[in-house]
Amino acid sequence: MKHLVRSLLCGVLLIGMSGIADAQTRLLVNCFWPPQHYVCQSVLPTWLKEVEEATEGRVTGIIPPKSLAAPPEQLNAVEKGIADVAPQFNGLIQGRVTGPLVAMNPFIATTDAPAMSEALWETRNQFFPDEMESAHLLSLWVITPAELYSQTDTPLTSMDDLKSRKIWALPGALAATMKAIGAGVVSGPAVQANEIITRGVVDAHIGLSPTAVRDFRLIPYTKSMTKFSDSIYSTSFSLVMNKDKWAEISPEDQEAIMNVSGPHFGRMAAGHWVEADQTALVEFEKAGIEIIDAEPAFEEAFKEAASAVTEQWIAKANEAGIDGQAAYDFYVSRVQELSK
């Protein structure tokens, strides 16, 4: 009888130890966009599903119903273990990273966001050092280009028009360009644009794709959009994971996760913006938002004013140990080669 009890106990212990060995890693994946946004509803859930399938259920995840940190604090939240994984807008951490900002230089964006995302990952692999020492970089992606919008009945068609306006702009390259031109600038995260624009603090805005204008409920406050033949600007994001959490995952599963991250995730995430822009532009037309093609003279003057931003990025990249000009040229050429 004693031998039987001992055998049963040993069996229970072995089963328990096997359960521990096969225990799941559960990721807390933060989404700072509004809960109904497609990043929260589709992009991150799709990635989590692919992670679970790739690791045969050993790594799963959940997305909390409300963001655990403000947009500028996503990387910090991951580093502190408040969240295990989070997307971070790179324009809000430009004091900490330089490489991913190459995609945010003016007048190099295209409407093919998946191509830009793949080009950025390739550029990172070839030129960027690991700038996020306290987090593991899972992926990078670039969204559809930003446009220039007027909130008054007078469209923006010249440099003098820009100088006469108070403009909301995304932090980083756009805010710096607007200041160099002489416009009044109010800068902040995209998710805070609605508060500034709807209160009439500014009378123009720059830095949002048509999708963002719709998603942040700014269509009623936007009268016209000025398009340039070469897109003004686009935005890059990083998907980051807590390093301690990453270290808990087996090498086999780490490899499986990276197979569904990197450029695979980048193209998938960026594709949502392309589809969303198409439907947003239909809503623009219904709302009577006038779309104007910029005159060549306006575009050339704008490019000249913005060129200093690119020069500054190249210099900063060089200081960070990146061959700035080579990285810039490589990214631009790969975007052109990969774009449809």
Q: How far apart are the first and last CA of the chain?
A: 75
- pLDDT value of residue 188: 87
Amino acid at site 39? V
Cα Rg for the chain, rounded, in angstroms?
A: 23
- Structural domain boundaries of the chain? 26-104+111-141+235-275, 147-233+288-338
Is the CA virtual torsion 130, 131, 134, 135 positive or negative? negative
Q: What confidence category does residue 243 fall into, taking pLDDT thresholds of 50, 70 and 90? A: very high
Is the per-residue pLDDT at 131 higher than 90? Answer: no
d(CA 90, CA 72): 9
pLDDT tens digits, 210-228: 999 998 999 999 999 999 9
Taking the C-alpha atoms of residue 170 and residue 178, their distance in angstroms, rounded to an integer, is: 10
Rounded average pLDDT over 5-34? 61
Architecture of domain 26-104+111-141+235-275: 3-Layer(aba) Sandwich (3.40)
3-state class (DSSP) for residue 333: helix
Chain mean position to CA 213: 16
Number of Cβ within a 10 Å radius of residue 133: 9
For the chain, what percent of residues have pLDDT higher than 70?
93
Distance separating alpha carbons of residues 226 and 202, to the nearest angstrom: 17
> Mean pLDDT throughout 177-201?
90
Q: Do the domains spanning 26-104+111-141+235-275 and 147-233+288-338 agree at the CATH topology level?
A: yes
Query: Exposure pattern of 241-263 as b/e (b: 16+ CB <10 Å)?
Result: bbbebbeebeeebbebbeebbbb
B/e letters for 106-132, b = 16+ CB within 10 Å, e = fewer, are bbbbbbbbbbbbbbbbbbbeebbeebb
pLDDT tens for 269-328 read 999 999 999 999 999 999 999 999 999 999 999 999 999 999 999 999 999 999 999 999
Beta bridge partners of 140: 238
CATH architecture, domain defined by 147-233+288-338:
3-Layer(aba) Sandwich (3.40)
pLDDT of 187 reads: 92
- What is the helix (H) or strand (E) element at residue 5, kind and residue range? helix 2-21
pLDDT in tens, 29-74: 999 998 999 999 999 999 999 999 999 999 999 999 999 999 999 9
Residue 80 has pLDDT above 90, yes or no: yes
